[in-house]
């Protein structure tokens, strides 16, 4: 089943230079659309629309959290 949802990804300082979103897209076959973003020298956040198979989406979000990214559903 294909699902669509908007998420807020908040990156801590140590992950700002890691290709987390790129890896999420490639590894879990998820379509993304970055709606807004803000990256500073201390942290970064993205508002991302995501679409994909429900099982892959859940696995991808769990993987991102394991990497240290804070992931939350949003309607921003």
pLDDT digits 0-9 by tens, 27-45: 999 999 999 999 998 889 9
> What pLDDT, on a 0 to 100 scale, did the predictor assign at position 43?
87
> What pLDDT, on a 0 to 100 scale, did the predictor assign at position 54?
96
What whole-number distance in Å separates Cα of residue 53 and Cα of residue 42? 33
> What pLDDT, on a 0 to 100 scale, did the predictor assign at position 73?
97
Bridge partners, 7 (sequence order)? 48, 73
> What pLDDT, on a 0 to 100 scale, did the predictor assign at position 39?
92
Whether residue 20 contacts residue 67, with contact meaning beta carbons closer than 8 Å, is answered with: yes
- Indicate yes or no: pTM above 0.75: yes
Q: Where are the beta strands (DSSP E) in the chain?
A: 2-11, 31-39, 44-53, 70-73
Bridge partners, 52 (sequence order)? 3
CA 36 to chain centre: 12
Q: Which residue do the tokens 């992950």 mark? A: 15
Average pLDDT value for residue range 62-71: 97
């Amino acid at each position: 089943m294909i699902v669509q949802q908007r998420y807020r990804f908040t990156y801590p300082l140590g992950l700002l230079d890691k290709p987390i979103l790129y890896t999420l897209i490639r590894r879990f076959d998820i379509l993304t659309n970055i709606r807004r973003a803000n990256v500073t020298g201390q942290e970064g956040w993205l508002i991302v629309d995501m679409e994909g198979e429900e099982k892959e989406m859940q696995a991808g979000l769990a993987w991102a959290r394991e990497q240290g990214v804070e992931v939350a559903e949003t309607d921003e």
